[in-house]
Amino acid sequence: MKPIYLDHNATTPLHLRVRQAMQDALAIFGNPSSIYRLGREAHNLIEEARQTIASFLGAQPQEIIFTGSGTEANNLAIKGVLRSACEWMHRPPEAFHLITSEIEHPSVLETCKGLAAAGVKVTFLPVDRHGRVRVKDFVAAITPSTLLASIMLANNEIGAIQSIRALAREAHKRGVIFHSDAVQALGKIAIDYRKIGADLLTFSGHKIQGPKGVGLLWVRRGVRIRPLLDGGPQEGALRAGTENVPGIIGLGKAFEVIARKDLRRSAKSVAALKETLRRGLMQRIKGIRINSPSANCLPNTLSISIEDTEAESLLMQLDLAGICVSSGSACSTESYGEASHVLLAIDLSTEQARATLRFSLADTTTRKEITEVLRRMPGIVAKVRSISPSYLARTSGKKHPRRSRTT
Amino acid sequence: MNHRSIYLDHAATTAIDPRVREAMAPYLDRYFGNPSSVHRFGREARAAVEKAREILAEVISALPEEIVFTSSGTEANNLAITGFLEAQGGSPGHVITSAIEHPSVLNVCRYWSETRRDVIASCISVEQSGLVSPAVIEAAVSTRTRLISIMHCNNETGMIQPIEEIVEIARAHRCNVHSDAVQSFLKLPLNVRTMGLDLCTLSAHKIYGPKGIGALYVKRETPLQALLHGGPQEQWRRAGTENVAAIVGFAHAVQLGVEERENRLAHLQELENKFLETLQQLGCKYELNGLPENRVPGIMNLSFQEVLGADLLIALDLEGIVVSTGSACSSGVVEASYVINAMYQDGERAKRSIRVSFGKDNTLEEARRAAETLHRIVHTTQTHQ
């Protein structure tokens, strides 16, 4: 049987039309910066992609900066705004304050931690048990030196969607620049990105059936950033380097595919499949905790913790059964055996966090695949539990006295 | 592309080799996994990335863990310099570079020296030959010098820089050496061990590989801070999901380049000879910017009396022949080459220069036709002034 891929929050296969567009684009070879015809051809194709993307987002084409990844776009947003502010206000980085949350993607968290280590003041806001930043916490964290807030639109591990418009509004009322990592939201839910009112938004290609190696940052006109990569004048002198022509064309095509979709409808059908999966798992397996919030959640993301198991063993068994899911983020910065920062932030114990699986579906996921997962899961969980000291201790106290439990 | 056009701008970018495109295809299709995922899709992608890393490492005599994949040569140059300086802690010190470096080196050094009081960047001048003089480096180096960044061969003139001598000076003063080898890669021998480099930049799209992928060689134990923070990819030195297909394409382009190196080099030399001989036979007077020797075959920078490089470029483009002036700006404004200007201190000569760079798929017939067309345009322009 064909493997069942339920890890679309980690990466997605290329859409057929994207692949075709990229295969064609690989044959176009001019350097977009060259002024002769061949260069202009490449340049025009990039500008077409920029136009497609801008009109989908409701942006101006010149507000779109192509990058090498979502990670680079997040780095550029945060460091770019900070570096620029330092320059034109003639103040050191230590004079500024940033706000972010505890459940951001590592590319935001690590960037902020790095800046904090260099003397920048950073507030890492906690979230409630549904994985949401409380607006009142956010407002309370703002100080006169707050320059920028970066709060993700939707979380990659549990799927929680933030009250992003309210947060952006509060930020703007107080003169704070607002950035949001929208990588996981794109293509999964219908959003009017313009209406969010964010000053900077991050997107990535490979989460939306587009190519790896390309992302973008939407920088609203009037928001000043300083480039992270210096060199040539590409991307309005905000991101140097010869343009990844096929990557950008592929990204444009992936946006075009999304633009033609009825996202409300596909979200609804994906959510229905997820509900089938959730209910089926709850019925078949005891000791399941649902980590994804029931409301304000990505329709495709289901995070669960299974008592008395270890994600590593579950993943291995699932993989053998041809089922590909993950324990959390593929970009996890936690080393082997450590618990996810997102799950700890929504108050899971370390044990629970380490017993967590993330299913992330797509609109290509079939009911048959979900049925197959539900058929295989109980056996796999039982198998993993059969070697779990804590489970054995609890279910057959005599053979495995409680004191033998390790923590 | 118009099939009758003759592409002579391989130093700007090259057409991807169809064999490279083929090698990439499965990674745009079946093997789509995220290399950080633990399931089969992830493992397949991981294996491909690590195999590519081994290929690249072996070719330059490095260890696989010394290779960091980036999104471009520009990013690799930025990572080399910024990453190295930021890893120096409180006192980054002094950096030496040259006036003919790629903008991604020059502008990074400028940014550091303009924004940080604890960084001084010396941008040394070059000789008329287009060569960096080791004596000038020796004179510029001080006890505070941390890094010397000099390219392996220049992208506008093809002039090969005396890297070995520069490394010797660096060793004597206990500072590190970075070299941008984007233009020389697979044209000149590159053994990072025997050359004694600490950091070295490579790029794929100049060697018939894909755009959007580059690499930085980082010698073990060389201090380096990541430029992009986030996930643990590239051993914490460069966060972001790996561009798997492009990495596979890069490695395949390198393999082909190594296999065909001798033939390609000989062919480039033939093309260059044919081109220059034809110009000479036609009595076309040109000045070669740089020297005939110490130059990689296939990259030539020429100036013609009384003809602007920009005008030549456009006239040639109309005839289907693609060359470049030193630096093309995205706004379409052609500026005089800063490299030629740095060599001759002569803005006029810089404005009159064009760069002709041959590639493996050019034919001798193309070289001859290009020279004839060039001569005709130059001659017409000169006699009409």
Domain boundaries, chain A: 4-9+262-404, 16-260
Three-state secondary structure call for residue A117 = helix
pLDDT recorded at residue B254: 98
pLDDT tens digits, B70-93:
999 999 999 999 999 999 987 888
The residue ranges of DSSP E strands in chain B, in sequence order, are: 6-7, 67-70, 93-98, 119-124, 145-149, 176-180, 199-203, 214-218, 287-288, 299-303, 321-322, 327-328, 334-335, 353-357
Three-state secondary structure call for residue A10 = coil
pLDDT recorded at residue A159: 98
Mean pLDDT for the stretch of residues B211-230: 97
pLDDT recorded at residue A330: 65
Instruction: Taking the CA atoms of B60, B36, B29 and A53 in sequence, report the sign of the dihedral they define.
Output: negative
Measured in angstroms, the CA of B350 and the nearest CA of chain A are apart by: 18
**A319 close to B (CB below 8 A):** yes
pLDDT recorded at residue A387: 86
Q: Which residues of A touch B319 (CB under 8 A)?
A: none
Residue of B nearest to A325 (CA): B39
**A310 close to B (CB below 8 A):** no
**A243 close to B (CB below 8 A):** yes
Q: Is the pLDDT of residue B329 over 70?
A: no
Identify whether the C-beta of residue A223 lies closer than 8 Å to the C-beta of residue A236. Answer: no
Output A391 or B246, whichever has higher pLDDT: B246
Catalytic entry in B123, B153, B175, B329: B329
Measured in angstroms, the CA of A334 and the nearest CA of chain B are apart by: 9
What's the whole-number average pLDDT of chain B?
A: 94
Q: Do A241 and B71 touch (CB under 8 A)?
A: yes
Q: A–B: how many Cβ contacts below 8 A?
A: 260
Interface probe, candidates A76, A181, A206, A229, chain B, greatest B C-beta count within 10 A: A229
pLDDT recorded at residue A83: 95
What whole-number distance in Å separates Cα of residue A297 and Cα of residue A277? 15
Q: Do A36 and B332 touch (CB under 8 A)?
A: no
CA-based nearest residue to B10, from A29, A85, A246? A29
Q: Which residues of B touch A108 (CB under 8 A)?
A: 230
What whole-number distance in Å separates Cα of residue B120 and Cα of residue B102? 19
Output the CATH code of domain A4-9+262-404.
Answer: 3.90.1150.10
Tokens of B154: 């220049």
Q: Which residues of B touch A231 (CB under 8 A)?
A: 74, 77-78, 102-105, 107-108
pLDDT recorded at residue A35: 80
Out of A106, A107, A326, closest to residue B37 by CB: A326
Residue of A nearest to B235 (CA): A333
Mean pLDDT for the stretch of residues B215-238: 96
**A292 close to B (CB below 8 A):** no
- Asked if A331 is an active-site residue, the reply is yes
pLDDT band at B204; cut points 50, 70, 90: very high
**A263 close to B (CB below 8 A):** no
Q: Which residues of B touch A325 (CB under 8 A)?
A: 39
Residue of A nearest to B33 (CA): A11
Q: pLDDT under 50 in chain A at which residues?
A: 398-407
Q: In chain A, positions 49-68, which contact chain B (CB-CB < 8 Å)?
A: 67-68
Tokens of A363: 């609109």
Q: Do A212 and B228 touch (CB under 8 A)?
A: no
Q: Which residues of B touch A69 (CB under 8 A)?
A: 71, 228, 240-241, 243
pLDDT recorded at residue A123: 98
Q: In chain A, positions 133-192, which contact chain B (CB-CB < 8 Å)?
A: none
pLDDT recorded at residue B2: 47
Mean pLDDT for the stretch of residues B298-306: 96
Q: Do B115 and A213 touch (CB under 8 A)?
A: no
Q: Is the pLDDT of residue B333 over 90?
A: no
Q: Do B32 and A14 touch (CB under 8 A)?
A: yes
pLDDT recorded at residue A304: 98
Class of domain A16-260: alpha beta
**Hey, what domains does chain B have and what are their CATH numbers?**
6-15+261-380 (3.90.1150.10), 18-258 (3.40.640.10)
Output B117 or B246, whichever has higher pLDDT: B246
Q: Which residues of B touch A67 (CB under 8 A)?
A: 71
Mean pLDDT for the stretch of residues B326-338: 65
Mean pLDDT for the stretch of residues B222-242: 95
Q: Which residues of A touch B361 (CB under 8 A)?
A: none
**A247 close to B (CB below 8 A):** yes
What is the 3-state composition of chain A as percent helix, strand, coil, each rounded to the nearest 5?
Answer: 45, 15, 40
Q: Which residues of B touch A11 (CB under 8 A)?
A: 32-34, 37, 241
pLDDT recorded at residue A402: 43
Q: Do B37 and A330 touch (CB under 8 A)?
A: yes
pLDDT recorded at residue B384: 81
User: First-to-last CA distance in chain B?
Assistant: 33
What's the whole-number average pLDDT of chain A?
A: 93
Q: In chain A, positions 338-367, which contact chain B (CB-CB < 8 Å)?
A: none
CA-based nearest residue to B33, from B231, B239, B247, B244? B244
Residue of A nearest to B330 (CA): A33
Cβ atoms < 10 Å from Cβ of A275? 14
pLDDT band at B335; cut points 50, 70, 90: confident
Measured in angstroms, the CA of B20 and the nearest CA of chain A are apart by: 10
Out of A35, A108, A241, closest to residue B334 by CB: A35
Instruction: Taking the CA atoms of B359, B198, A71 and B26 in sequence, report the sign of the dihedral they define.
Output: positive
